A and B are shown apart, each in its own frame.
Chain A
Amino acid sequence: NAGVMQNPRHLVRRRGQEARLRCSPMKGHSHVYWYRQLPEEGLKFMVYLQKENIIDESGMPKERFSAEFPKEGPSILRIQQVVRGDSAAYFCASSPNYVFSTDTQYFGPGTRLTVL
C-alpha cells in the first residue's frame, strides 16, 4: 500500500509566479490535510479537505492561497504570486474514511518550495 505521495519534491519559483503542489492520499483515505513548515519551526496547519469539500481552512492565508480536492485526482495546494516568505516545506497528510478514524494522520515526504 503506497503511502501519501507528494510532487514535486522540490519546486523553485521566482517572485510573482504560481506554485502548484500535489498530494495523493493513501489508498482508502479521503481526508487530506496541508501543513506548512517554516525553517526551524514545527508544522502549522493550513487546510483540511474531503473529496470536493473544504472542511476547515482556518490556517490558510486569505489571499493568494487556495486548495482543492476534486472527486478524481490529487489534492492541489495553489499559491499565486509567490513571495520569498512562502519559501517553506509543505506537507500533506491523509487519514482513513471510517468513523472516528481521523485521529491519526499519515504524512507525505513534503514539497520544498524555494522562491527566488
Chain B
Amino acid sequence: AQTVTQSQPEMSVQEAETVTLSCTYDTSENNYYLFWYKQPPSRQMILVIRQEAYKQQNATENRFSVNFQKAAKSFSLKISDSQLGDTAMYFCAFRPGANTGNQFYFGTGTSLTVIP
C-alpha cells in the first residue's frame, strides 16, 4: 500500500526567510512520481513542483526546491525568500509509475503561515 505522511500540521516563517516542509512516503514501487501542491484559502489546488523518482537531480522551480532522498523515501519542500502569498496548505502527493494505477495519494497537509 502507498502512504504519504506529513508530520508537521502547522508551520510559520518570517517573510523573506526560508522554510522546509517534510514529507515521507512508503511504497514498494521503484518508479513513481512525487508532487507538492499548494492550496490557498481559495481552495484551488495548485501544482508547485514535481519529481520523477528515476531522476537523481532535485527539482527546482524558482523559489521552490525539493530534497529528494529515494533511499530514505523522503521528499521535502524548501521555500526560499518566503512571501505572504505563500501562505497556504501544502500537500505532498505520490503517484505510482505507469501501469500501476493513476490515482494520487495525498498526505494530510501542512498549514504554512508567512508572517510579515
**A residues near B, CB below 8 A?**
31, 33, 35, 40-45, 48, 55-56, 58-59, 89, 91, 93, 95, 100, 102-107, 109-110, 112
Contacts and interface: CB of A to CB of B under 8 A. Distances in A.
Interface string B87-114: 0000101010010011111111100000
Interface residues of B, number: 25
B104 A105 contact: yes
A110 B45 contact: yes
- Chief secondary structure at chain A's binding surface: strand
B106 A44 contact: yes
Interface of B: 4, 33, 35, 37, 42-47, 50, 52, 91, 93, 95, 98, 101-109
29 contacts: A31-B102, A33-B102, A33-B103, A35-B106, A40-B108, A41-B108, A41-B109, A42-B4, A42-B91, A42-B106, A43-B106, A45-B103, A45-B104, A45-B105, A58-B103, A59-B103, A89-B43, A91-B45, A102-B102, A103-B50, A103-B52, A103-B95, A104-B35, A105-B104, A107-B45, A107-B46, A109-B43, A110-B43, A110-B44
Given A42-B91, A42-B109, A109-B42, A104 B103 contact: no
